[in-house]
Each structure stands twice: as C-alpha cells, then as structure tokens.
Amino acid sequence: MKKDIETRLIHSFFDRSKHHGSLAAPIYQTSTFVFDSAEQGEARFAGEEEGYVYSRLGNPTVRELEQKLADLEEGEEGIAFASGMGAVSAILMHLLKSGDHVLVSEGVYGCTYGFLELMQDKFKVDYDLFDMQTADAIEKMIRPESRVLYVETPINPTMKLVDLEMVIQTAEKHNLKVVVDNTFCSPYLQQPLTLGADFVVHSATKYISGHGDVIAGAAVGPSEDMQKIRMSVQKDVGAVLGPFDAWLLLRGLKTLSVRMDRHCENARFIFEKLKQHPKVNHIIYPGDPEFSGYKLAEKQMKDFGGLISFEIAGGKAKAQKFMNALEVVQRAVSLGDAESLIQHPASMTHAVVPAEERKKMGITDALVRLSVGLENKQDIWADIEAALHSTYEFS
Ligand SMILES: *Cc1c(COP(=O)(O)O)cnc(C)c1O
C-alpha cells in the first residue's frame, strides 16, 4: 500500500547501502563526473549507459529531490530549477511555439505575466488573462491556436480561487494542456495532477523550502515531456538547481506536513482575531465561510493555507504605519517561511500593475498581505494588535 504523504515527505529514494548507511541524502557538490574509460564517456553521451555526466544535465542530490517532488505531486517525473521562474518559463517554452495562444487565469504571479509579455514580444506567442470562473468564460476565449491553460489558485494577494476540476474538464474537451502553479498550497494541501492537470509548477522558495534560505523551483509532469525539457529547455537555457540548494529543499520537505498544519492553524487563529478588530476591513482568507471561494477551497484544498490579506482603515499611510510598528512580523515579500512576513502589494509585488488594473483586481492601497508563520499564534496576534493600536493611537 502506498504510504501517506506525511511519511513520503520524510523518507528517501536513494540506496543507503551505497552511501555508508547515511540517513540524510549526501550532497554531491560536484560540477562533473569522471568516466572510467573514454568508451564509458562515449556510452554515457550516447545515452547507452545510465550515469551522470555533468551537473547541468543531472546530479544525484538534485535527482533525489526531483524524485521526491514527483512522488509528492503524484506525477511521473520532476525537474528542479534554479527558481520558480526557471520552472514556469521552462514549461511554457516547452509547450508553446510561435503563433500559439495561451489562456491564463487573472492575477498570476507578476514575473509569470512578465514572461508572457516577453514571449509575445519576441516569439509571437499570444495570451489572454481573464477571470476563469466558469467553463463558458473559458470557452469564449479559446481559439484554434490555443494550446495551454495556465492556472494559479489561490491567487496572490486576493486569494481568488479557480475550480481546478472545471478547468481541467474544459481543457480536455478542447485538447489543451493544463499547467497549475501550486506554490500557494504546496503538494500537501493541493495535488492538481490527481485531478487531471498535465503539469504542476512550484516556486520551491516558498512552502517547500519553508526556511527562507533558498531560491528554487520545480515542475512535475509526464515523463515524455519532462525528458524533453531536461534535454532541451533545461539543458540549453540552464536554470539548474545547485546540489546544496537541492539538499536544503530535501531538508525542508521533511517537515512540510507539520509546518503546513501549523501555518493553517495559526492563520485560522489570526483571521478570527482580525475579524473582531474595528480598524481591520475586508479580510480575505479562503477559510472564511463568507468568502466567495470558501466552498471551492473546501473542495480542492486539504486546508485553507497560511495567507491572509486585509485592509487597514485609513489607506496607504496607515497601512505603512501599521507595518512599521510590527516587531515579530517581518516586512518582506515572499511567503511560506517560519517567520511571519507582511508586504504591501500596491507598492511592492504589484507596483508595476497600473493603478486602474490593480483596483479592478481588488488590490487597494489599504491592502496588506500576511504570510502567517510558525511563531506562537498568541505572540503573532499580540504583535499585530499592538501595531494596530499604535497606528491609531494619536489619530
Ligand atoms: C514566488 C512565486 C513565483 C516565482 O518563484 P521564484 O522562486 O521567486 O522564482 C511563482 N509563482 C508564485 C505563485 C510565487 O509566489
């Protein structure tokens, strides 16, 4: 019987007997691999003999991570990348060519949007960003040259959810490949491949690492595609992950389920407290029964995640004053770390989005986004409450 994800997160794929019984995965900190003979080198290059050649083409520590990620996402094969954007761009470059069209859920990660722009300007790959709430809305946007449906759910910072089952069914009808950015959930909370998605991408920088000490990415999908990516886009563009960074992710992954459970528990607590505070408006949290995406979150996520967005009465000036008064919660972009992190989307992650567009997306100047960390939940709340108090004290 297949073991539970909580167990699979911890156990390794490598053969300990070949590594002195080492409990943790060894770090193969090497750029290249020595051949026993010239003939062996020839055979490896010809693909006639299994074995490593050069770390841009594969490395045992990185391979261990890739196998684990594929296993966790219930996919055939995984590839690790130097960053989340390395993974996103590799999958899109693999699936799209000049003249193709891609459908993209509204509000995707800023640099994903940037990469789509680049593909459009330089390579004539067209895209449409829109609200994927219904099959009808999607079908209206499909063109004969559409190839890929790219989804992020929940989306940052408005937490809007997209119904993965509906999107996948619609895509299947029209022969489109579905790519899901699963960064916000991690494989512990959501497994799009089990619902029929073709590819999953991750910024492993976030929950997968969980410790704020590495930039990394990952993609999981069918072996045939992943082999092609390995031997083309990844090899020739080169966003490869280093062995030590892979090892940090292997270390982080061991505690993913424990961390996610705590992130979710702490976020639930902070949400309840925020809800009662008179100076906090419009809280956006997938676990709020009044939130538009609540039912969907219940259906496709194991729990509601560790992210909460909310508005501070008084707009940007008050939001900044509030952020500056925080001591436990750190002012930083990124998410999914042990430390609680807060950012101001309108002036930080979404500053490049035109103000009009931001407003339409629901990103006001009063909005802050909190990644609830693993600290004691009472301490996190005490920090937020004190900062709110000092923000309004003299007004
Ligand atoms: C951070 C992030 C990315 C980009 O990942 P990097 O590791 O920073 O390159 C992509 N998608 C989402 C949803 C993210 O949060």
Distance (Å, whole) CA 66 – CA 80: 6
Q: What is the pLDDT of residue 200?
A: 98
Residue 54: exposure state from Cβ atoms within 10 A (0-12, 13-18, ≥19): middle
Beta bridge partners of 343: 369
Q: What is the DSSP letter of 32?
A: B
- Alpha-carbon span 248 to 29, nearest angstrom: 13
Best of 89, 92, 108, 109 for a ligand 1 pocket test (most atoms within 8 Å of beta carbon):
109
Tokens 């299947």 belong to 172
Q: Is the pTM of this model over 0.95?
A: yes
Structure tokens at 193: 């491949």
- Which of these, 221, 169, 162, lies nearest to 195 by C-alpha position? 169
Q: What is the pLDDT of residue 375?
A: 98
Cα-based angle 258, 259, 264 (whole degrees, multiple of 5)? 105
76, 222 Cβ separation under 8 angstroms: yes
Neighbours of 265 (CB within 10 A): 15
Q: DSSP label at 195?
A: G
Q: Residue 109 C-alpha to ligand 1 middle, in angstroms?
A: 7
Nearest atom (ligand 1) to Cα of 205? 7
The domains of the chain, with CATH numbers, are 5-253 (3.40.640.10), 257-392 (3.90.1150.10)
Rounded Cα distance between 387 and 323, Å, is 7
The bridge status of strand 217-221 relative to strand 199-203 is: antiparallel
Question: Which token pair is 143?
Answer: 């063109």
Query: How far away, in angstroms, is 181 Cα from ligand 1 center?
Result: 9
The residue with tokens 């020739």 is 236
Cβ(381) to ligand 1 under 6 A? no
Decide: 84 in ligand 1 pocket, CB within 6 A: yes
Cα 151 → chain centroid: 11
pLDDT in tens, the chain (395 residues): 899 999 999 999 999 999 999 999 999 999 999 999 999 999 999 999 999 999 999 999 999 999 999 999 999 999 999 999 999 999 999 999 999 999 999 989 999 999 999 999 999 999 999 999 999 999 999 999 999 999 999 999 999 999 999 999 999 999 999 999 999 999 999 999 999 999 999 999 999 999 999 999 999 999 999 999 999 999 999 999 999 999 999 999 999 999 999 999 999 999 999 999 999 999 999 999 999 999 999 999 999 999 999 999 999 999 999 999 999 999 999 999 999 999 999 999 999 888 898 888 899 999 999 999 999 999 999 999 999 999 998 55
Does residue 105 have its Cβ closer than 6 Å to ligand 1? no
And the tokens for 201?
């991408």
365 lines ligand 1 (CB under 6 A): no
Q: What is the pLDDT of residue 85?
A: 98
Cα distances from 295 to residues 147, 268, 304, in angstroms, run 29, 16, 11
CB 178 within 8 A of CB 132: no
Tell me what pLDDT residue 394 has: 59
Closest protein CA for atom 1 of ligand 1: 203
The predicted pLDDT at position 44 comes to: 96
The predicted pLDDT at position 357 comes to 84
Dist. CA 182 → ligand 1 center (Å):
10
Pocket test for ligand 1, best of 81, 83, 85 (most atoms within 8 A of CB): 85
Amino acid letter, residue 196: G
Nearest to 377 by CA among 305, 285, 271, 304: 271
* 153 touches ligand 1 (CB under 6 Å): no
Please name the residues in contact with 290: beta carbons below 8 A apart, sequence gap of 6 or more: none
